[in-house]
Amino acid sequence: MIQPTEPVGTRPPLLNMSHVEKTFAGDVVALRDMNLSVQEGDFISLLGPSGCGKSTALRLISNLMHPTAGTIRWVGGQQGADDLGVVFQEPTLMPWATVAQNVWLPFRLQGKTYNAVKDDILEALKLVGLENFQTAYPRELSGGMKMRVSIARAMVTNPRLILMDEPLAALDEITRFKLNNDLLELKSKIGCTVIFVTHSVFESVFLSDRIVVMAARPGRVIRELTVDAPYPRSEEFRTSAEYAAFCRQASDALHEAMELAA
């Protein structure tokens, strides 16, 4: 298991956002003065109401947009497109391609043939428990399974950072709990760094060791919490007093965020 050994805040830095601002045309401030130091092995949740700039932050980090002011810097530079994996709210699979072909996509866009990377593809599919569905088409899968394919695609290149934009929001609660557990197990296996956008207090506490609470209008960070419960976290953690206390903390911070925006 590749679990970061250092406690939160003392790990090697991976990416720094400093004084990042994003203003859209018409003076809509999507994000104001965001500072975030992402460290290797972190599981960071961006928690906040809609319009707080969580998704904007992800789009900035993934270079789909550029900040109006401030800087986003990879420590040691971003080596390539495969340093980053992304999971969207929808599974976002290509319906015309099989499960294996979908997972192949990041490699394919680097010009790698299927045969050159088929072991990696199989490995990624094994990690999400879909190794028997390589030749299935997305429409043949359930919502949860599609999301697993999407997660496999994000990790297949072994990226240093995976961004997840409310990936489980559209799933039913049972599937969601299951995927939460699986996600933690996955992360411990491959040891990547994750930034996870969510509007669920419970999900953020269960998954992450850092929670960044954000407020809306203008989008900004109002508080950062550390969830220093040890991994691996099991189902028992969900019902522990410790978990409830963290949820209370996060919930209070979220209330504060709502009041600020009101």
Partner 1 sequence: MTIADNAPAAAPLVDEEEQARLRTARIHRIAKWTLPSLVMVLSILACHLYVTIGEVPHYILPGPVLVAQSLVEDWSLLWPAMVITSRLTFLALIMAIIGGVALAVAFTQSKWAEMSFFPYAVILQVTPVIAIAPLLQVYVESAFVAALLCAWIVAFFPILSNTTIGLISADHNLSDLFTIYGATRWQRLRFLAAPSALPFFLGGLKIAGGLALIGAVVAEFVIGRAGTGLGLASTLLEASYRFNFGRLYAALILISAMGIVIFAVMSLISHLALRKWHESAIKREG
Q: Which residues bind partner 1 (CB under 8 A)?
A: 62-64, 80-82, 84, 86, 88, 90, 92, 94-97, 105-106, 108-110, 133, 136-142, 145
Task: Pick the closer one to partner 1 by CB: 141 or 207.
Answer: 141
Coil, helix or strand at residue 136 = coil
Strand-pair partners of 28: 24
Cis peptide preceding 7, ω within 30 of 0:
no
CB of 174 to partner 1, least distance (A): 14
Task: Pick the closer one to partner 1 by CB: 105 or 222.
Answer: 105
Nearest Cα neighbor of 12 from 23, 4, 24, 20 is: 4
CB of 135 to partner 1, least distance (A): 10
CB of 8 to partner 1, least distance (A): 27
**Is 55 buried (19+), middle (13-18) or exposed (0-12) by CB count in 10 A?**
buried
Tell me the C-alpha distance between 88 and 91, whole Å. 6
Q: Which residues contact 171 (CB under 8 A, 6 or more apart)?
A: 143, 144, 147, 179
Residue 223 has phi, psi (to 5 degrees) of -160, 150
Task: Pick the closer one to partner 1 by CB: 55 or 198.
Answer: 55
CB of 209 to partner 1, least distance (A): 25
CB of 82 to partner 1, least distance (A): 8
Task: Pick the closer one to partner 1 by CB: 110 or 240.
Answer: 110
Q: How is residue 51 annotated by DSSP?
A: T
Kindly list the distances between the CA atom of residue 193 and the CA atoms of 23, 64, 261, in Å, as whole numbers in the listed order: 27, 19, 30
Task: Pick the closer one to partner 1 by CB: 165 or 203.
Answer: 165
CB of 166 to partner 1, least distance (A): 12
Task: Pick the closer one to partner 1 by CB: 161 or 184.
Answer: 161
